[in-house]
Structures are given as structure tokens and as C-alpha cells.
Amino acid sequence: MIISIVLLSIIILRVTPTSGNVLWEFPESFKFGVSTAAYQIEGAWNISDKGENIWDRLTHTRPSVIWDESNADKTCDSYHNYERDVEMLVELGVDFYRFSISWSRLLPTGFSNQISKQGLAYYDDLIDELIHFNITPLVTLYHWDLPQTLQDLGGWTNPLIVKYFEDYARVVFENYGDQVKNWITINEIPQICVDGYAKGINAPQVSANGIGDYLCAHHALLAHAKVWHLYNDEYRHSQGGRVGIVIYTEWVEPESTSKEDIEIAERGMQFLIGWQAHAIFSSEGDYPKVLKDAVLNRSLDQGYASSRLPTFTEKEIDYVKGSSDFLGLNYYNSIMLWNTKNKFVELKFIVPSREDDLGYDSYFNENWTKTISPDFTVFADGLKYVLKWVKKEYNNIEVIITENGYPSYPGLGDLERINYINQHLIAVWDAMINNDCNVTGYSVWSLMDNFEWISGYGICFGLYEVDFKSEARIRTARASALVYEEIIRSRTIKPNYFRNVSQVESKTSTLIILLNMEYI
């Protein structure tokens, strides 16, 4: 049965399912959500006594590094529009909302000597609103926006950051722990450490390849463990919550089924996922042996007296190991690694660097679907393979897919995003049902369009489109929001929700989207 709907840009429609064969059904215990991050949506960068963070500093002093020379001074203005944000969550029917707390909004100096009353009130109001509508808060303590005061002291390369992070977490647990039961310490170590402290791409734009990234990640892992133990020792009994970490993941697809190519791909997985997760989730703890050996050997070859990869003490290995109640995975796409023996490609790397330590460069399979971003392709099966790898490597730890999203241009008829979500949820279902992977939730990135870091506002990830030219930052549901709402309501995936989507302009310049919906 085909239903044609005219969706005006100012109207949010409800999707009514028709009869059909359901192919993929999720258990009632499985939770659906959406994700955002404080700096990307809040705006109000200098409201009340909020302190400056590293992205405030970067976008104000070096705007040219952002694709459209924009900033997040106002962005979605969720600081003033949080009630509308929660309204959208209610429209979608999500089980949980993953958002982050701005360290510098809560602690203007970066230290716990000064706690902002306005900052406390903002997050208190947001959490209250979520709980009022039975939406579970999943709160991230750190999503890339370090207080500039701490960066001035070295940021994540300063070992004292472990203590500073614990002090910040204590303030958060003390004030919100009675209501929030699901915490994430740190989001995506590679993006923080490689892009921020090695390649000089993201804030704070430190260029220290092969040194800054390893040092930053080492301290991030220790800081995570410190906060997990803080909660476990002082708050778990009275508050009854749990604490996890989110890692960035890609599936490294072997170039062939040969033993050599499979070993190359496994090496890539250990350099990416193992670097972030092995010390926490493996039975032996510490960094993966292949990573330790590779960095040590390259370091000695380069004339260093010891490995550029910091070393955990035996006490630290035991302290970090097991310090997480669940694993959050952010997955967008997969990669392949050049096998130079097969391709006869001469690879030249910055020395030192993680790429040089790994010994292989990455690329996208030409058969994978391309997107508008050169950094993203579509290979949904990669998510299933990652989940199977994590199950085998880390004793089937509980996994929540904390980010999964598709970049697009503005417009409400986002068929590609719909297909992307469907395909990746099918991959999750397959991993759960056919491979017994312990996956308990899935979250779309993102609830709405926002400031996408160095991409600025040039690409859109939102289920809701945001009109950044309007003072009120008007949010409008995309087609993908309507489909995701139906997925959550029915807890099923049906193929070809939207057979085709076309856009036309009316004579009054009102954007009209013709949605031909077909349930099979």
C-alpha cells in the first residue's frame, strides 16, 4: 500500500503504520535514543559566569580553521530552548537522551573552587524536564570542550588532568547523581588526542604527532578509571547508577581472505579500538601487545631512549582494568588498510606518528556508498563486524551504540539518512539475534543540526533541521524523524519506508516535500 503525504516545513506529521511483514523486531528491553553534545548545541557561550573552553578560544582567534568560519556562540541556543528540545524527544518517543555537561559552564575556572549557580540550574532544569517525561538521561562528562584554563596548563598532556577531572566529576555526582543513573566519562579518545594533540586539527590544535596523542590518551584512560572508582567507592551504593566510557570505532575490513590481509586488519583494530579499550575491558589489561611492541620498536629505530607510548605501572594496570560498567560505541563508517605488498604503493608517513607506527594507511572501498563528506562512507555490515569483534575480544561486555549518523545537506526529505538508520539497525539486530552480541541500546547522532566542529554548519546530521537564520532557531522534523519515531513506536524495521523523496518549491516559496511511503 502506498500513502502519499504532503509535508509542509512548518508541520510535524505522525506516521501511521499499515499492515505488512515485519522482518526485524527488537526486544522490549532494547532502548532507543538520540545524542547531542554541549558545545555543539547550547550556545550561550558567555552567559552568566560560564568560563571559556578550548573551542571558544579556537573559533574566536582562528575562525579560518572552521570550514565556514562560524562558531558555536549561539548555535541551536539550547541553553534557552531546552524545553523545545525535550518536546522533540517526546515527539520521537525515545527511551533515553544522551547529552553532555559543559565543564566550563559548571566550573567557570575549570577547578572546583567556583561552582556556577546558573550552570547548575540549567542542567538541573533539563534533567527535571527529561525525567518528567520518562526519558532517561545518559550524561557525558567530557565531550571535547576542555576549560581553556586547564589547557593553558597542558590540558590532557598534563598528568594533573586526572585529578582535575575527578574534582569536576565529584561536583557533578554530588548535584545530579540522585536523578541521573547512567554516566559516560569521556567521548572518543582518538578525536580528542589524535586530532587535538597530534595532528593539530581540532582544538586545542597541538601538533605533536606520535607523542601528544599517546600521552593524551594515557591520561584520559587514567582519568576515566579515576572517576569510575570515585563513583564506585563513594556514590554507587547510595545513588545506584553506573559509569561507562565511549570509544570511537571503525571496522577495519581485510582486503582479501588471505591470512596476511586478515592479520593486517586485526593490527588495525588493535591500534584503533584496542588502544582505547584494551586496558579497561580485556582480561589482562594494559595496552595491546601489538601496539606496545610496534611503538617501542619504531621509537628505538628513531633514536628515542624509550617508547613514545607511556607505560602503565602494574598498580595502574589493575586500577584501570574493569573500570567500566558498559561500553559505548560511536560508529559511522569502516576503512581498509593498504597492503603494500599487494598494491605496490609506497607509503610515506610523518615520523613519528601513529600511522607510521601502524605501518599502513587507510582508504575506503570504492564499492561502499559515498556521502557528501569525504570522511564518511556507508558500510553498515561493518557495525555488525565491530560488535562481533568486541564480543570476542572483551567477553561480550554490554554495548550501547551511542552515536550513529549520516551527513547531509539541508532539506527535510532525507531519504539517505533513513536508509542509513535502517541498514545500521538491521546490522545491530543481526549482531544481537544471530550472534548473541550484548547490545542494549542505539542512539542516532543527532537530535538536530548543530555546530559540527571544524565542519561548522556545512553538513547536517539532525533528525530535526534547525533554521540557523531565525532568531528562535526553529526546529523542524525531517522525514527521518518521522521514520525513527515509527521504528521506536513499533520496535521494528521495515524495508523501504520511503520509496522515493522529491522536493519542489511552491509559488509561495514554501518548501514542500512529497513523501511516498511504502510499508512492506
Stated length of the chain: 520
Q: Give one DSSP letter per residue of 104-158, joined into a string.
A: HHHSTTSSTT---HHHHHHHHHHHHHHHHTT-EEEEEEESS--BHHHHTTTGGGS
CA 106, 107, 108, 114 torsion-angle sign: positive
C-alpha cell, 52: 571559556
- Decide the pairing of beta strands 377-378 and 369-370: antiparallel
For 265, list phi and psi in degrees, rounded to 5: -65, -40
Diameter over CA atoms, the chain: 72
Helix (H) or strand (E) holding 192: helix 189-197
Say if residue 317 is exposed, middle or buried (CB neighbours under 10 Å; 0-12, 13-18, 19+): middle
From CA 28, how far away is CA 286, in angstroms rounded?
36
Confirm if 198 and 353 have CB atoms less than 8 A apart: yes
Q: Which residue has the cell 528491553?
A: 29
Confirm if 136 and 177 have CB atoms less than 8 A apart: no
Helix (H) or strand (E) holding 95: none
Query: For this structure, is 52 an active site residue?
Result: no
**Closest of 449, 445, 470, 471 to residue 460, by C-alpha:** 449
Given the residues 42, 129, 188, 452, the one annotated as active site = 188
301 to each of 275, 304, 352, 383, 391, how far by Cα in Å? 21, 7, 10, 36, 35
Given the residues 403, 465, 485, 486, the one annotated as active site = 403
Query: For this structure, is 87 an active site residue?
Result: no
From CA 146, how far away is CA 192, in angstroms rounded?
10
- Residues identified as active-site: 188, 403
